Structure 1
Amino acid sequence: MSTGTRQDGVSDSYVYKWQTFKSLRWDFLIHGAMEEKVLVTGGAGYIGSHTVLELLEAGYSPVVIDNFHNSIRGEDSMPESLRRVQELTGRSVEFEEMDILDQAALQHLFKKHNFKAVIHFAGLKAVGESVQKPLDYYRVNLTGTIQLLEPVSLSVTDALRLSSTLLGWGNKWDLPVRHRPLTLPSTARS
């Protein structure tokens, strides 16, 4: 895997991650209907916004939540990445600035919408920082996910998909990466 930067400024590692992500099977989301809503947590980030684009093109109505920890705030309340997705697709994206640690806001969101599925990208991911601030990473990645699972378990009709990166699974891996049972995380972020 190359670690350079393309002419458009996008890191080769991000391109590799997106190509790997895109190759995953998302059988639960094939042939969507416009009325079917999919919640995308952390949807304003790089992979999240590309997922929103794919969902729109597949006919779904994504609802995106993000707290701008790893994304860029646009001129108005819409993240820059999602503004670009709207330009590309000609469709609007419903966005709410929200932190998955805000249980009351999550409960309100799930009362407001009937989601077919949830794709969960909201999490902290910097390996070095996860070693320096493990409790912050446990709070967001573990507690936040548990808080998200509570309303999901009561209302989502189809599926939950979690996002993971290769960053926390050690220093060496064979490509393509195959998730194996009993793999122990190397950092608190995992």
Structure 2
Amino acid sequence: MSPELLKNKNHYKNVLSIMDSTEWLLFISTFIRRKNLITIIYWTYLFIGLVGGVFILFDYNLVTVESRFWIIGITGGLLISLLVSPVLHELIQVIFFKLYGAKHVKFKWNWSLFRFNVQANDFTLSKWRYYGICLVTFSLFSILPFLLAFYADGAILFTLLSLSFFHALYAMKDLAVCSYLYKFPNCYIYSSEQDKTVFYKTLPK
């Protein structure tokens, strides 16, 4: 338990612990499907994005655009969402975690995903701060590219649309955590040095 919560352990209850990637996959697949305000906003955004993407394609007569623009743009957006934006996403979140008291930051190359993983450890974060951090990264790498697509054309347009969509899928881990936190009025996340993530809820005094 974190030092802050240890001092007042009678006021907090451990409601969930996640130890490894298998448990994370189960957690994500469970809570992205829970019906609450967080998931409704997310899936509504994806639906609006789909409608907006169709509007852009037909409004700019892009159906007749040469296939090379489609291929270059969509492939470029996919590569950015696989190799670049996830690292920046994690790095920005880690900077916020560091500002909120994280003691350690680890950089590790993941060969299976062929990218760097950036992870902060040993910190406690309230759910509202976590919501704010997720909003920043989601806005930068999904909402902003989608809005910029309305002012772009050619391969750049397809790159922005592709990046917006694929990064929204990447953010499903954040979505699952936010969805889980939503059911508690007051909840805290604690990430330990042993790669263990613990969720605590505040007990009534």
More helix by share: 2
* Higher RCO structure, 1 or 2 (CA under 8 Å, sep 6+): 2
TM-score > 0.5, shorter chain as reference: no
Tell me the TM-score normalised to structure 1 length: 0.31
What TM-score does the superposition give when structure 2 sets the normalisation length? Answer: 0.30
